[in-house]
Amino acid sequence: MVDLSTLGDGFRRLQKLQKDLDNLELNEAIVDLRSQVMEMQQENLELREANMRLKREAEEAKAADDFLDSLIDVDGYLYKRDENGKPVDYPYCAKCLKHPDGPFKMVRQNEVYSRCPNCGQKFAAAKDGRANSSWPNS
């Protein structure tokens, strides 16, 4: 990879020669080179920004995967685990699991039901893995 500071040193040498020689063709070549280097610097900056963005996205994707791997599935509801691997607290809304502002943990609606604070959907899931496979009233 080309080191931009090396190119800068090269320019300074060329500019010194330019003063000594005062050659029109040399001046044009230097101006051309300078504009090419500036273009490379811009491309370099853009690539660094793209690289940083991709790294950040990869880290976010890994964190999301790690989070999903850490959950326990009880009757299709995804709970966090306690230190013994048992489901704890309310489950996460599967529909909103990958929402940009999520994930959303369900909140208590009553003894049996819970509700997603984001989409408002009600679920037959309660705290600590007490999930019902069907609605009691149906």
* Residues near Zn ion (CB under 5 A): 93, 95-96, 116, 118-119
Q: Which residues pair with 3 in a beta bridge?
A: none
Shortest CB 99 distance to Zn ion, Å: 7
Which run of H or E residues covers position 50?
helix 24-70
Angle, in degrees to the nearest 10, between helices 4-21 and 24-70: 170
Shortest CB 120 distance to Zn ion, Å: 7
Shortest CB 36 distance to Zn ion, Å: 53
Q: Which residues pair with 59 in a beta bridge?
A: none
Q: Which residues pair with 107 in a beta bridge?
A: 115
Shortest CB 95 distance to Zn ion, Å: 4
The closest alpha carbon to 123, from 44, 112, 103, 14, belongs to 112
